[in-house]
Amino acid sequence: MVSVEKSGTFALGGDSVVRRLGYGAMQLAGPGVFGPPKDPQAAVAILREAVASGVNHLDTSDFYGPHVTNQLIRKALHPYADGLVIVTKVGARRGADGSWQAAFSPKELTEAVHDNLRNLGLDVIDVVNLRSMFGIHGPAEGSIEESLSALAELQRKGLVRHIGLSNVTPAQIEEGRRICEIVCVQNHYNVAHRADDTLIEELARGGIAYVPFFPLGGFTPLQSAGLSDVARRLGVTPMQVALAWLLRRAHNILLIPGTSSIAHLRENLAAAELDLPHDAIIALDEVGTRTNAAA
């Protein structure tokens, strides 16, 4: 069985130690992250294998499905092993047609936290990320004070251990840090999409984790070809190369690749043991350099 131990560890909030290669449960829901999966037992098997492989950082949300991924996590893993850190996010809800809608008011966020607690079978959630909905397809400016203050109040009540942010700008992160401790930031970042390069370094100095999503998202055909060339030369998959590059990029980067396939899960987790040679790193860095120059 593949192990993620070589990915290293990071302490979220200084006390929740996770391996840097985790698992994102988003793809366990049905098509469009809506409704149940075709094979719920296969989804349960993926979760159990991930944890058996050493994964102790699971990323989820009650608006995946909705409710589907949290219920699958509970079915597969409850009662939870000591040291398993479950991270969820709030700030959105699903329409009856599967649409993604903002749910950013204090009342909606409080209800969302209680929904996550109930469906996961928890008394306290390890980390709750507030997902900014000012920009659906990327970060956009807007005050998060009222929403984040509501989460901070739930933290004071003991329902939330740590708080993070998702889909946010540097200004929103600074605003958030004046309200409560922020332990992680989830934004779109990969070898081609490098807008948060400076932010990652700033967060690292503050002991804050950076959790990139879409490790293969936003690539041009030329960038994809460059990544595939490196993967082919090393005899591995492009996803493995992309994940290995991210692990090397900064010590505060945590990965949550998702999949609904056992075979792909094993491939992704094997990235923890992939050592990229110097020439491969240069080639991959150039992909990002070309992206930034064209921006």
Query: How far is it, in rounded angstroms, from Cα 198 to Cα 205?
Result: 11
State which amino acid sits at residue 96.
A
Question: Catalytic residue positions?
Answer: 64
State which amino acid sits at residue 95.
G
Q: What is the pLDDT of residue 135?
A: 81
Tokens (6 digits) for 227: 């990544």
DSSP H/E element including 130? strand 125-131
Q: What is the pLDDT of residue 289?
A: 67
Q: What is the CATH number assigned to the segment(s) 5-218+246-257?
A: 3.20.20.100
> How big is the chain, counted in residues?
295
Three-state SS at 10: strand
State which amino acid sits at residue 92.
A
What residue ranges do the domains of the chain occupy? 5-218+246-257
List 184's β-bridge partners, or say none: 209
Residue 248 burial by Cβ neighbours in a 10 Å radius (0-12, 13-18, 19+): middle
Q: What is the pLDDT of residue 218?
A: 86
Query: How far is it, in rounded angstroms, from Cα 16 to Cα 231?
Result: 33
Nearest alpha-carbon partner for 9 in 41, 43, 56 = 56
Tokens (6 digits) for 120: 């996961």
pTM of the model: 0.95
Residues 6+ apart with CB under 8 A from 181: 13, 162, 163
Tokens (6 digits) for 183: 């332990």
Start-to-end CA span in the chain (Å): 42
State which amino acid sits at residue 267.
E
CB 190 within 8 A of CB 246: yes
**Rg of the chain (C-alpha set):** 18
Q: What is the pLDDT of residue 124?
A: 98
Per residue of the chain (295 residues), what is the pLDDT tens digit?
A: 889 999 999 999 999 999 999 999 999 999 999 999 999 999 999 999 999 999 999 999 999 999 999 999 999 999 999 999 999 999 999 999 999 999 999 999 999 999 999 999 999 999 999 999 888 778 999 999 999 999 999 999 999 999 999 999 999 999 999 999 999 999 999 999 999 999 999 999 999 999 999 998 889 898 999 999 999 999 999 999 999 999 999 999 999 999 999 999 999 999 999 999 999 999 999 987 654 444 4
> What are the residue ranges of helices labelled H in the chain?
40-52, 68-77, 106-120, 145-156, 170-179, 197-205, 221-234, 238-249, 262-269, 278-294
Q: What is the pLDDT of residue 72?
A: 98
Query: How far is it, in rounded angstroms, from Cα 34 to Cα 46?
Result: 19
Sequential DSSP letters for 59-95: E--TTTBTTHHHHHHHHHHPSPPTT-EEEEEESEEE-
